A and B are shown apart, each in its own frame.
Chain A
């Protein structure tokens, strides 16, 4: 069964994580973007993370994509705190220094479009943490996100230090789906498994 699709964007693609990605992901986590985030010192947790990426997608709790440019992993896109019944999720992109803002933005957009089409999500949040690249805020605004709140000291950056979190949201002007029976065949609810006949187009019709 397949729950996380491969999606192309101009200059690259996002695809599901596999065990073969562990070395590339380890390299990615040598360049943490978040204030206070530690450099990863062993690969064991990454194998678990690949397992989790499948479990989370299957249970609609989150989704993780490897972000590839020119065939090499340069980042990751993650959807987390996914609330299916509330039609919302949070997003995050982690990238190597060579990942450009345009690539980051395009990857984020293609993942967002997929989740809006396939799962009818209409509210996407993104938290920018003080100390991260300021240009990420501009990128989010250009994608249509709006600043919702500045959450004081909401991110712990050290034993006794904290950083403000700026939350951005984009709420799509999109009709809410009508609830159907679980597993029934319909245009609006073709099921999660992307390998079935109902999802031959990748699920993002």
Chain B
């Protein structure tokens, strides 16, 4: 272990035992006793599931490591192992220094206790000595901005104050290693900036930060190193840009075989035999384009046209792109090759389905459901990173601007209590 290494993980695995329906895990003592009595020999049918499998890496002092991966990749499990909440099944972790973990903002807060009492309680839970908390008490209160409400039970706090106080306590821990999971999913933008700034300070002071977030933007802003996990395996470790690239590409869909059209509805004079996105993953604000090919099968159809429908993962159709609106009518031919592209709307990060219909007036010729999967990169097309509630209330993203000038600023700014 070099003297700069603060975390060293060797062949780490964590497995959970999953019981199958046939042999349900007894959750009451009675069931446990009864199943033992009924089948004294038979063991329950079990399957071992590895949430983390053979993971090894090292982290040096002052590194800010972003852990990325899709849902179920094992990110949170890894953090739980590192912060000793759960015990590993195999392998070894060597940590140099205290680990402060912040896996959920406000765990350990008691609603009936006052802000002051909760600072001591939460600090203690996170491993601080009473003396240390007293030393940093003013800084914590200052950071959270709750001095007026210190002797109010936190159950009367607004959720914003609650979160600020909780983060403030954790951020002022003196631990050499700080483990943070998705805390930026809460709080207002101002607070988010404050948090990111604080985490940067922590890293600059020579401590180590491990950071899990679905928000790739904040990973990109905050981290210098990255780990990419997939299904419990560590697939890549390295510089943060490289890791984010890898993560973004993991969203790439597989191209479908369009030639098997025997089960597709439609009168079948023409069939779509190829419909493929030109890139595995598109950015939200770029032009999304697809190459396609339509081939003649039998008979004659006369004049026909094409429609593409874009639907989100919930099945809501967001856009219909009909060739007729731009005069796109086609005559009988042997095959038609070309590209389909659309620029707006900006789609939110995620997976979309494109359906393609070949139509004439009257019955449809080819109805190709799910002709392509469209993947939109998890990076939002806006310059600043915002919490979930900044983008959650819409189906699509918009290319917009807020421009304003302040008219007659009030001399005394009224302190807003959020």
Task: Check if A and B associate.
Answer: no
Which residues on B are within 8 Å of A, measured CB to CB? none
The interface of chain A, by Cβ under 8 A from chain B, is none
